Amino acid sequence: MSKTFRSALWVGASARRPFLVCLLFLCTVCGVLVAKGGLTDPLPQFELGAQEILHTHRILWNFLPVGYASLLGWAYIVGAPWGVAGMHVCAMAMHAMLLLLTFVALYSLLRQAGSEPFAALVALMISLYPELIEGVTRIGDTEATLLTLLWIVLAIGKLRRAPGVGWAVMSGLAIAFGTLVRPNLALMPLLLAWALLGTAWRRALQLVATSLATMVAAYCLVTMAIHGRPFLPQNGDYNLYAGANSYTEQALLGSYNGEDSILMDMAAHGRPVTLNWLQPANRPGVADIRDAIYQPYYRQMSHTFIREHPGMMLKLAALKLATFLRPDTKRYHFFDAHKSAGVMAWLAGRTLEAIEVPAWILLLAWSRLRQWRGESMLVALMTAIYVLPFLLVNSDPRFRTALDVVLLAEMARMLYQRRCQLRQPVVCGVS
């Protein structure tokens, strides 16, 4: 090996040293969590699909999106030879892998605006966000949602700066896999129109068509492999009904989620039903609110409520936004009642985690719209597209966590870029 080549390798390794050190540290944290933690289960709705994957390699139940449940199910398959303990360890390892990929995505996003040490250290600090660390030992789709959001921002940002078929395909793949985890991400193709505003219209149409075709093909292929045929999850009317009935306000104020309102409204209309996320919806002799036979009724009742109570829908939209932005303190009862200090610390942490969206809005206002272009405009549009559906359907504070992390990275990028512009205005520009 020549001296020049060895020197080049050394320079490359040195340039990557902060990234590798941070990645090694994060791997160690994840490894410790997997080694000593136990898998907890506050979101059992994903367990049913994962068990179907474990036993049949398919998800036949089509009520919820299949993306996260499939990942969890295949982790169970890998760990099944070692029993329940092995399944839980593999599930935690899967969450740890999602967290490591999130670190890489955060690093890639921040590296576009700042130096190597800045990108690596900020990506590490954000990856140690309490909700993400807790997610390694908990069943939940937050990490998968976050990873797809970061992938969407990265791919569409690249497409805006360098319009080409490759980034159009990557954008389509990102949106497809995001839709598999959270269906409201199917609206993200709207970002393509903004990203290609400066491109010749024929070329822009070709790239949008390429991205959409990739998105549809990827989504259909994955759902065919998992479900046996292309399908959309059947919880759309359910969520709309949860967000548009006479008891939605009571449910949002009482449990920070509108789903309980379905039980109350159905009972008020002489249709008593039950809900058990650990059991299939179509059990003989059991009226479960997820059963497909109720979907037309949900659609009819919600559409009637929206048409007859437009003023109430505006009030509920404001309440849903407040619910979306409030601290996610619903899981405090999972703690031991005797550990009151731990509960208070946990609640305080959840309260602090709820400041990202207001802080981001204040930072944009402080910048006086100087940075409302490039990546900042992309993140702002992505945030609006992500949040708006929750103002119509059901809302829950946990839906905000993935967005919090994206906005933390965006605020770090904006502050670094502002500092860079003040020190070297000629060299540093807004992307």
pLDDT tier for residue 333 given thresholds of 50, 70 and 90: very low
User: What's the pLDDT score for residue 328?
Assistant: 79
At 231-244, the pLDDT tens digits run 888 888 999 999 99
pLDDT in tens, 358-414: 888 888 877 765 556 677 889 999 999 999 999 999 999 989 989 999 999 999 988
**How far is the C-alpha of 412 from the C-alpha of 415, rounded, in Å?**
5
Residue 148 has pLDDT above 90, yes or no: yes
Q: Are the C-beta atoms of residues 416 and 113 closer than 8 Å to each other?
A: yes
pLDDT per position as a tens digit, 179-219:
999 999 999 999 999 999 888 889 999 999 999 999 999 99
Name the residue with higher pLDDT: 189 or 45. Answer: 189
In which band, very low, low, confident or very high, does the pLDDT at 303 lie, cut at 50, 70 and 90? very high
- pLDDT tens per residue, range 67-97: 999 999 999 999 999 988 899 999 999 999 9
Residue 349 makes CB contacts below 8 A (sequence gap 6+) with 130
Beta partners for 138? Answer: 40
Question: Per-residue pLDDT for 247 more than 80?
Answer: yes
What is the predicted pLDDT for the residue at 24?
A: 84
User: Has residue 334 got a pLDDT over 50?
Assistant: no
Q: What is the largest CA-CA distance in the chain?
A: 83
